[in-house]
A and B are shown apart, each in its own frame.
Chain A
Amino acid sequence: MDEKESVSVSKGVFVFRNDFNPPVGKRKKKHIESKRAENAFSKNLWYRSYSTLWNKLEHEIEILNKKIFSSVLNDLVTFIKTSHDTAVEEIPTAALLTGINMPDHRAQFLTLSNQIKETVSPHVACLYSQDCQSIKCLMEHMIRQFINNEVFDIDETEELIESSRYQYKKSQLSLSFLKCWYEDLYKEKPVVSPKKKKTKSIRKILVVIIPDFESFNAQVLQKFILIASCYVKVLPFAFVFGIATQLTTLHTTLPYKVSSKISIRVFNSQPSTIYLNHILENIFFALDCPFQIGGKVFNLFTDIFLFYDLSVKNFLQNIKYAMAEHFSYGNVMALCSYNKKEVEQIVKSFSHEDCESARHLMSFRDLVEKEPYENQIKLLTDDEYFKTVLLAQVNKVAMYIEEFHLFLKCLLILVEDLPKAPLGKNVREMYSLAASTNICKTPEYKECFQLLGFQSKEELSAKISKIIEHVSSYLNNTGRSSKIEYFVNDLQCYLNSINNFNMTEIEDAVLEIEKEDTITVQTDRKQLKEKLLEMTKQATKPMNKYEKTRRDVIECIRHTFGEYLIEPRSLYFHEIFFFDNISIQNYIIGSHRAAIHNALNDPYYYLQCVSCCETQDSSAIKRTMPDICIAYKLHLECGKMINLYDWLQAFLSIVDPSDTADDGKIRVDPKLQARFTQAVAELEYLGFIKSSKRKADHVARLTWGG
């Protein structure tokens, strides 16, 4: 044990219990050190606001995770808790159908194991397939987890254990050892400390969690279950299997003699799309997250999610990357906050460079162009004036974002159950549309409002009361009295009047109209024809009272939405809040083919050597480039079959242009030929060409296009 380290933390006297127990000081210190070393940016303003924001979001996500999984978790935990209440012959097993988003599972199973540790039993072992290639590894891994867990647990609760903790050898970790350890733990304890008797007298369950059931070696798993079932009477085991596909995999992996040893109960967890919606609605679309993802980038992320991996974890990582990219633009981005006082402080502290970088934002140009001439000069040169304008605009954008989300939610309430749902059923679909264009001008939006015009009284009044509820809860939370309040009041009036109509009145009105319309006098054919024509012209039937109110209320809603649901791009300095740089696509989606092409076609991109590789024109070939690049660029000009001799000639003419002068007799420098051969071999290895059997001195080109 390192004595020095603990001395350096404090001069106090430490009692070293033994060498197994890591002293607390060491851990703490490491933590501090790692934090300190964490980054070179921590002095920068933008980094500070980035990290506080991300930490806050991460914390919220964690809480939300717990909440989302709570129902399944609770079921699971109670199942495990009660599983050994009666004597069991078969090992109680929970099969948790998780869905295939593998990367997300770790977090889920971690919360599960923590919850089990807290509520059921401290003995939890989490086995991943990569650690358990053989039954031996599996056993050792599991037993070590059980034993070490308990050591830490005791350590925290009570400090009376003076027993020499032994560094267990791998070979000693067998189940019979675990059995002795377990019996020792639960039989001798009450004798040692009578206080503990009540709590410890119940034998705690040994929980084994296997999160990735599919990737386990079937043989290992079968053996493990058989062995565990031999011990189930002395060691109360309980299993949790995480199954990504279906329950049927259980019988394909386990033969009857094994599956007869376990009794399975099935638990279903939520599909990941619902999980994503939860995260988006409660965290990123919530009123306290100032960072907004622009429409294009948001679309990119959701596409990756839906088409490729269904992984919420990856989605969050993408957002984190986008956030880091966003904030690293400069200190201006530190303004991405809803805290008005903080924003004011930050603006005050801005240096000239910060102002300049703010002036480089695209939307600032529009702002300048709109101003009168003298103001333009002032904006561009006077930092103080610029700061006041910036502050005002930033506050405006912040206000806009809040209202934007508020009304987006209202729009969702209105349109989510329309037939065929032209605007989609989820907030994310609407957000991606609204963040990229003005949603009120899209054909889908118009279609929605057309459909709304046919809503029945009950449906409409339910929706309106929902909207009122939502908006007024927002107003209560923020305490702002504004135009929105008038909107709520208007809606309330409409709602009252709608509710006051009763059906008989409406029908009466309809009858009246019908009476008026009947054609009574028929003089001659011509008149009748004219009359009918007239009637078809005024096709819109006169509306009854309800229909009139409906038209009015929809008009009112449409008007308000049009005011608030404008596209973010139309605001000045929206870049501070919205990140919409689609170029991060290249960093987020790895594309090895394009990367290889890029490297070979434009070596400067990676090598960064100005003298040998930099070219203006991407098709130009320099003799100083690496051989493989020259060969690759030459092969791009060829057809399906490449004549090796011609290729060599072209290669030579670039590498050694002086040699081509005497074209009568060609003598190839063997060194150059060797270089060429190597380049060709490398290209073949990379899969760009293939030797052909049809023509001996030709190779076939295998790739086409960029």
Chain B
Amino acid sequence: MDKGRCLGGGRFVSTGERIRLPDDVTMGYIIEHLLKQPLTVVDQFHSHLEPMKFIRRDMIEDQISFSYARSKDEWNVVKIEGFDEEQDQNRQVTLFAMDHTLTSLKATLPCRDTQIEQLYNLFAYKDEPFVESVYIYGGPSTGKSIVVTTLLEKLEIKHAVVNLIECYTSKILFESILNKFSGHKIDPRNPSPYAKCDNLMDFIFNLQKLSEVEDLENSILVLDKAEELRNMDFNLLAGFLRLKELSAISISKNFVKYCQPIINKEHTINDSTALWRNIAPSLKSSLEVLYLRVDSVHSQKTLTTPKENLAQSLELPFYAKYLLIAAYLASYNSVKDDKRLFMKYHGKKTKTKKDVNVKNKVSERLNTQLGPKPFTLDRLLAIFYSVVDDKVGFNNNLLVQVSSLVELQLLSTVSDNCCLDGLKYKCNVNFDFIHGISRMVGFNIRKYLSDFSHF
């Protein structure tokens, strides 16, 4: 047959009449059979002629179009739960609604498609029983809570979200769960909870009571920050896990722990190296501030102050500075060096081979690198008095300084508070800091550190 003969000038109609099939089939016949061009088969389109019930539920999301037909009294429709048969005989509304929740969910929460679908499959079908408990885990700020709560809200499932971090006692936890399930609003004038729950038994009892009044079928309890359960009463986790058995109500527990972190969506730009080079210096400089989360307005100011000024910006009374220096010396010198360092006439010392070896200490063995050692108050005061030039009265104001240094976390107590004598402290500041302070009072700290002063 000539190629020009089957199309144009009304010939398409006559071709159709000749093979006695509908227009779309005629088209196919012309393309594939007459013109010998292969057609691509897309099986996401569906015709009413094929049995719809063979489309499995997990395939539904991938299909482009469905169809329906009625043969005698039986419907050939997609098998899916949702609106009842009378309202929605051909399942069009259900499919549309389902499509809508899913797509809107996906739109509001980008990059969480797999998670949303997984959760959706677990909870969206109301006539199926819920799983007993679901663990959701992942790094911080990856959108676990938001996915769960928006999903539950969209699906209109009865649920109670409880953040465990605010439940510093299990009483608060129980009562807030009950309040939420019962829809009990706390009256500020009479702030009694729905029911008093002091322990798990009370909770179960009240929950059963509540279920008589309210329909708690298919409710979900979401426990946010569930890692806190570890620090709470030991029976809580076990209790919640078996809540179904205990209460005979099908409440599903949802442990929002941590969702899987997913690739950063900003990471798709191709020319990443050039971009990186561009942004690196400003990123680098703001890293420390980023950690502190200081407002951007003020970040410039903090950036310009170099580290040494930290010591200078700290205003301390004169003797407190010396006390801090003495504490540092006590923390970073060993006791046996005290006599040599702080006494004027400490006698002659013959050099031993050991001393020579010590002199060539590697940096890992330097006291200043090893971290502070505890010292007693007596030693601190003795060093303080040998370090300070002028005569200082030994009075309460001086001793108060020690405790105020502890309060400022520049020193920390190592020993137990209950023993009166022999309190032990540790110095918390580093060498740069103490160097800055001793420079301010005109004191050569290196001279008094066994690491730096060699015999």
Residues of A within 8 A of B205 (CB): none
For residue B190, which residues in chain A have a CB less than 8 angstroms away from its CB? 164, 166
Residue A100 lies at the interface, judged by CB distance under 8 Å to chain B: yes
Cβ–Cβ < 8 Å partners of B315 in chain A: 99-100, 271-273, 310
CB distance from A70 to the nearest CB of B (A): 20
List of B residues within 8 angstroms of A307 by Cβ: 317-319, 392
Which residues of chain A are within 8 angstroms of B316 by Cβ–Cβ distance? Answer: 100, 310
Q: Are A249 and B409 in contact (CB under 8 A)?
A: yes
- Tell me whether B293 and A264 are in contact (CB under 8 A): yes
Q: By the criterion CB–CB under 8 Å, are B292 and A247 in contact? A: yes
Q: How many residues of A contact B (CB 8 A)?
A: 69
A510 to B367, CA, bound (A): 66
> A223 at the A/B interface (Cβ < 8 Å)?
yes
A308 to B166, CA, bound (A): 42
Tell me, rounded to whole Å, the shortest Cβ–Cβ distance linking B369 to chain A: 20
CA distance A127 to B374 in the complex (A): 32
> What is the distance, in angstroms, from B206's C-beta to the closest C-beta of chain A?
16
Contact indicator A259/B293 (Cβ below 8 Å): yes
Once the chains are docked, how many angstroms separate the CA of A37 from the CA of B316? 41
Contact of A102 with B293 in the complex, beta carbons under 8 Å: no
A227 to chain B, nearest CB (A): 4
Nearest CB on B from A215, distance (A) = 5
- How many cross-chain pairs have Cβ atoms below 8 Å apart between A and B? 153
Query: How many Å lie between the Cα of A164 and that of B191 in the bound state?
Result: 12
Closest A residue to B322 by CB, please name it.
A307
Instruction: Tell me the dominant secondary structure on chain A's binding face.
Output: helix
Q: From A40-48, A178-186, A470-478, give the one contacting chain B.
A: A178-186
Q: Does B395 lie at the interface of the complex (its beta carbon under 8 Å from any beta carbon of A)?
A: yes
| A230-B163 in contact (CB<8A) | yes
B407 touching A215 by the CB < 8 A rule? yes
Contacts of B318 in A (CB 8 A): 306-307
Q: Is A171 in the interface zone, CB < 8 Å from B?
A: yes
- B247 on the interface (CB 8 Å rule)? no
B140 within 8 A of A: yes
Q: How many angstroms between the C-alpha atoms of A135 and B292 in the bound complex?
A: 23
Flag whether A196 is at the interface (Cβ < 8 A).
no
Q: Are A244 and B166 in contact (CB under 8 A)?
A: no
- Chain A residue at minimum C-beta to C-beta distance from B313: A246
Within 8 Å CB of B58, what residues of A? none
B396 touches A592 (CB 8 A): yes
Identify which of B192, B314, B395 contacts A172 (C-beta below 8 A).
B192
Question: Does A29 belong to the interface (CB within 8 Å)?
Answer: no
Q: Which of B186, B313, B395 contacts A176 (CB 8 A)?
A: B186
Q: Are B293 and A176 in contact (CB under 8 A)?
A: no
Answer yes or no: A365 CB below 8 A from chain B CBs.
no
A244 touches B141 (CB 8 A): no
Given the complex, which residues of B lie within 8 Å of A252, measured CB to CB?
Answer: 409
Question: Which one of A180, A214, A245, A265 lies within 8 Å of B185 (CB-CB)?
Answer: A180
Cβ of B409 and Cβ of A214 under 8 Å apart? yes
Indicate whether A139 reaches chain B with its CB closer than 8 angstroms: yes
**Interface window among B80-88, B124-132, B397-405:** B397-405
Q: Among B168, B187, B408, which residue has its beta carbon within 8 angstroms of that of A180?
A: B187
Q: Does B265 contact A (CB under 8 A)?
A: no
- Chain A residues 624-666 with CB under 8 Å of chain B are none
Cα A271 to Cα B295 with chains together (Å): 23
Beyond A180-B186, A185-B188, A310-B316, whether A227 also contacts B166 by CB under 8 A is: yes
Contact pick for B168, options A135, A172, A249, A257, CB 8 Å: A135
Closest to A143 in B: B191
| Residue in A214, A248, A264, A272 whose beta carbon sits within 8 Å of that of B408 in the complex | A214
State A171–B198 Cα separation when bound (angstroms): 11
Does A157 sit within 8 A of B, measured CB to CB? no
Q: A164 and B319: CB pair below 8 A?
A: no
A582 to B318, CA, bound (A): 22
A589 on interface, CB distance cutoff 8 Å? yes
- Report B162 CB to chain A, min CB distance, Å: 10
CA A249 to CA B433, docked complex, whole Å: 14
**A636 → chain B closest CB, angstroms:** 18
B402-422: which residues lie under 8 A (CB-CB) from chain A?
404, 407-410, 421
Q: Which residue of chain B lies nearest to A267 when distances are taken between CB atoms in the complex? A: B298
Q: A60-97, CB under 8 A of B: which get 1 and which 0?
A: 00000000000000000000000000000010000001
With beta carbons under 8 angstroms apart, the residue of B169, B185, B301, B421 that contacts A136 is B169
Q: How far is the CA of A235 from the CA of B407 in the complex (A)?
A: 32
In the complex, the answer to whether B317 meets A250 with C-beta atoms within 8 Å is no
**List of B residues within 8 angstroms of A172 by Cβ:** 191-193
Shortest B332–chain A CB gap in Å is 20
Q: Which residue, of B163, B185, B293, B319, has the highest number of chain A Cβ atoms within 10 A?
A: B293
B188 to chain A, nearest CB (A): 4
A260 CB within 8 Å of chain B: yes
Distance in angstroms between the alpha carbons of A142 and B251 in the assembled complex = 35
- A residues 252-284 touching B (CB-CB < 8 Å): 252, 256-257, 259-260, 262-266, 271-273
Hey, which chain B residues are within 8 Å of A391, CB to CB? none
The reply on B394 being an interface residue by CB < 8 A is yes
- Contact pick for B393, options A147, A244, A263, A589, CB 8 Å: A589
Closest residue on chain A to residue B192 by CB atoms: A172
User: Interface 1/0s, chain A 146-183, versus B by CB < 8 A?
Assistant: 01000000000000000111101001111111001100
Q: Scan A588-609; emit 1 where CB is below 8 A from any B CB, else 0.
A: 0111111000000000000000
B189 interface hit (Cβ, 8 Å): yes
Answer whether residue A304 sits at the interface, using C-beta atoms and an 8 A cutoff.
yes
Check if A589 sits within 8 Å of B189, measured CB to CB: no
Contact A250 B189 (CB under 8 A): no
Interface members, chain B 50-100 (any A CB < 8 Å)? none
Also in contact, A257 and B140, with CB within 8 A (given A589-B393, A591-B396): yes
Known: A245-B314, A245-B410. 7 other contacts (CB 8 A): A175-B166, A177-B191, A215-B407, A226-B165, A250-B292, A252-B409, A687-B421
Jot down 22 A-B pairs with beta carbons below 8 A, ordered by A: A102-B407, A164-B189, A166-B190, A168-B191, A174-B172, A174-B176, A177-B186, A215-B407, A223-B165, A227-B166, A230-B163, A230-B166, A251-B291, A262-B293, A264-B292, A264-B294, A264-B295, A307-B392, A309-B317, A310-B315, A310-B316, A310-B317
